[in-house]
Structure 1
Amino acid sequence: MAKSTGNIDSSLFESLQKIGVKSNLRPYAEVRAEGWVCVDEAAEASGASVHTVRNKLNKAVKDGLWEQLDCRAESGKHMRAFREKA
């Protein structure tokens, strides 16, 4: 079963990459250098579960405290990164 990534279905996204469609998403390594963090990395650093961190970050975005950015993992998969608003 394909993992839903917002409004982008990951299996469709990966299929498009295989046929040469270029992504306009910035690489995670690039946005990480600007202070963005992915859910997995935040969970590992905090010791909390990925589920808990994802829920808290999504709530912080909804509350206007944090912002989110769609980006591309090194593997080419779509991912979301988060950072606190300045």
Structure 2
Amino acid sequence: MSELTEDLAGLVEAVVAPLVEFPDDLEITSYETEDEAVMVEVRVNEADAGKVIGRQGRVIKAIRTLARAAASRTGTPVEVELID
């Protein structure tokens, strides 16, 4: 399942990278939780947080939906979190 974890992190990075103004501050980590879910954590510069969240959370919600759809073939639950 580690290949899936890396693929999901790459997918999230491909979506988030064009949105941010400070790409050097972009940090994406992914790992498997105890209940065999995949957690993808996104860290961005404070100035870019609003762009990743979007109006009323639409952008981050779309990113979560995309990650869940990508993992649905294997039935693996996925969580995408924006870390301050």
Please give the TM-score of this superposition, normalised by the length of structure 1: 0.28
1 or 2, which has the higher helix percentage?
A: 2
Please give the TM-score of this superposition, normalised by the length of structure 2: 0.28
Q: Which has the larger radius of gyration?
A: 1
